[in-house]
Structure 1
Amino acid sequence: MEAATAPEAALGPTLKVKEASTADADGPQASPRRGAGSSLPQLLPPIEEHPKIWLPRALRQTYIRKVGDTVNLLIPFQGKPKPQAIWTRDGCALDTSRVSVRNGERDSILFIREAQRADSERPGPPQSIKLVDVWGSSATVEWTPPQDMGNAALLGYTVQKADTKSGLWFSVLERYHRTSCTVSNLVVGNSYAFRVFAENQCGLSENAPVTADLAHIQKAATVYKTEGFAQRDFSEAPKFTQPLVDCTTVIGYDTQLFCCVRASPKPKIIWLKNKMDIQGNPKYRALTHLGICSLEIRKPGPFDGGIYTCKAVNPLGEASVDCRVDVKAPN
């Protein structure tokens, strides 16, 4: 170092630097003195600059890559003295087996040869899920958005239900955008729990909160009210729906006569031959079943021909039908 000359001192303090010799370096250094008419040489303080990161415009929004693509991020920075660039994920060190980092003088490069879904960040789970109301076969559930969106916009929520009998979860809503929903068509007699996942472009949240209360779908009490009605009167006077038919028979061959009658109450059936009652005659056998009346003439002879009548009688009235029976000798 050398001192400034008188004219230079008048102009103000200046500093001149010359190459120091070996003798100067080995010799004793003079102690600094301060005087009114003298100026001592001074060294400038080292220049310092806080570290700064210049984030590229392409990285100022969500950086999206497909699974299997290469990830190559170059982040410029500046600062004096030279900053030390450190990459972390969620506050933890990177997996050096898959991720490589190269730090230069003015930038740092993060390189991933093949991106995996695990490299992305999913959203956090929704908060404060609760069962609001249950009525009929429906239930209403509410929740609040997740605190961590995963650095990406939410695509929606996935709502699932599970009954306590099977314990299996089924999705009822996907990519639902509201923070409350009503789940319908629940099975009567079952109890249900609900949970909600948040979803962004990286996928569903790793876990989902479950409602603390169960939705009990109870069977509504059914009250049967019988209305009075007039008892229908099925009483009916006898009426023949199928009459007797005239027939011709051969001597010695059994012959049967048929007719149908409808009446309520059940009528009394009387068979007549030529207007004479033949009830109790062993030559004839009369049967009545479900309104079908039959008369069997056993081995008719020449004198068994004539007019046969079936008569039905009940408290409401009577009715009768007749037919002609001819008996011929065999050829």
Structure 2
Amino acid sequence: MPRVCGAVIKAKVPSSAPLNVSVDDVNDSSLTIKWKTPETVGSSGLSGYTVEYRKDGTTDWIVANEELTLADRYCIRNLTAGDLLNVRVVAVNPGGRSEPGVLPEPVPIRDIGDKPKIRLPRSLRSRYVKKVGEQINLVIPFIGKPKPALSWLKDGQPLDTKRVNIRNSDRDSILFIRSAQREDSGIYEMTVKVESFEDKATLAIQTVDLPGPPSSVKLVDAWGFNAALEWTPPKDNGNSDITGYMVQKADKKTGEWFTVLEHYHRLTATVSDLIMGNSYLFRVFSENQVGRSESSAVTKKVATIQKTGIVYKPPEYQEHDFSEAPKFTTPLIDRAATVGYTTKLLCSVRGCPKPKIEWLKNQMIIGNDPKFRQISNQGICSLEIRKPCSFDGGVYTCRAKNAQGEAVVSCKLEVKRTYLYITNKESQNFPGLSLKICHNLLYVFTTVCCKMH
């Protein structure tokens, strides 16, 4: 080994060849290979790898990577399906290139095909409607490998390329019409084909326009303040269903047109509320989803509303008898009250003429007893019992009378007593009296106070 000024200089030698060169993946346009690090890389280390390939039957090697790669995997791109490639990998270090690691056998670039499939947008799966003069621009995606062959038909015939433009790419087809006309309506069929496989899609295009006027309109009859009209559908519906008609009238004196019916669906109509002594012309327009016809059909005859022979006889109405016997619509409800707390009984009654209201307690008329307050307003009857005591309990009845009859409704009122209790400690304030005697005296006192109220 050479020496320079006493130092030993190591010679730079190439590394050994990359190991186990093999195919990792292959498709119709790329090839991915992988390998393992050489057994010896040299004292200066490894700078990288160069991947080279050539078509089978040729002698010139093509460098796949312009710059060295440090990875142990590389993808060769932009290949052509059907080619048979030889591939090798060279390790590079400061000592130079190694012996190449070569794939054992040539690799065929496979032609991986996908069956053709048209992905028709949801909006085109039903009838596609456009107005005359509007632009049609439909994008229809598809898939298929290799690139499918595309064709279009309209109503089973080849497209008129003067009217319809077709633009195809690798993934979609565009049908373009700059200004749609009536003749562009029809069934369009798109076909994509790869070898023996094909897929088809159909779409219905409908171009619509304003309809023509009704074919004819005539005045059938005129009587009183009315005129009867009749017309026939238009010969040209604008390539769309007729959705209705608009009827107008014009007084011959003024010549101004006024709309009397809009969005009318029948072929006959009666125009009313015409003015006596005036003469009228009528016209009818057709309507479809685009709009109203530009022209109309006009009656040839004039409807003249005569002044004489019109006698108005007002209708006769039989007077209704609204008399009704009293009837309670809301009954009295049994309830309980507390001694000393004012309570109220409520019910509602109807009848014509207005019934007279009476209140009874235990079948006795209450009358003008100041303890009770009786109110009747708009059919609502109420009885207020002021500070009731236990003697005010019983059966209360509300009676309603008028010339047609009478009605009664009853309820039961229970007045509960409020008890006061004296404890043993409080009874000591009354020496000589037992606790039971104190309770009896308190009961008598409470009862007397209730009667005084």
TM-score normalized with structure 2 length = 0.29
The structure whose Rg is larger is 1
TM-score normalized with structure 1 length = 0.38
**Higher RCO (CA < 8 A, seq sep 6+):** 1
